[in-house]
């Protein structure tokens, strides 16, 4: 029974972390286009999940030479978490294999 929960957790975390990676990647690309208004239309889907996190990051690590490195940092963190948790040798995959045996 717990194996089903692990599969659901694996799938859910995989989708969530992939979504966040894509959103931060788009946000990174949008830094090249400062005239894009993130408070309108489709861009709200990018701004809402990233703004709070990036504002917090900017307090810890201010822009370097006028360049906001926050999206790059978060892409790295999220990619690392995704690999550790749901990657081919991730913790959840190992738990699933262990529960099968």
| Class of residue 81 by CB neighbours under 10 A (exposed 0-12, middle 13-18, buried 19+) | middle
- What is the average per-residue pLDDT within 72-83? 95
For residue 27, is pLDDT > 60?
yes
User: pLDDT tens for residues 63-75?
Assistant: 888 788 899 999 9
Whole-number pLDDT of residue 8:
93
pTM of the entire predicted model:
0.85
Q: Return all residues near 47 (Cβ < 8 A) that are at least 6 apart.
A: 27, 38, 39
Show me where the domains of the chain are located.
2-100
Mean pLDDT of 48-61: 92
């Amino acid at each position: 029974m717990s194996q089903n929960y692990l599969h659901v957790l694996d799938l859910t975390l995989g989708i969530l972390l992939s979504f966040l990676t894509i959103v931060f990647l788009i946000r990174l690309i949008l830094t090249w286009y400062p005239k894009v208004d993130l408070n309108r239309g489709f861009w709200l889907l990018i701004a809402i999940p990233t703004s709070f996190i990036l504002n917090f990051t900017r307090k810890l690590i201010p822009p370097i030479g006028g360049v906001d490195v926050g999206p790059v940092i978060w892409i790295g963190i999220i990619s690392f978490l995704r690999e550790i948790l749901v990657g081919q040798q991730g913790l959840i995959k190992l738990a699933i294999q262990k529960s099968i045996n």
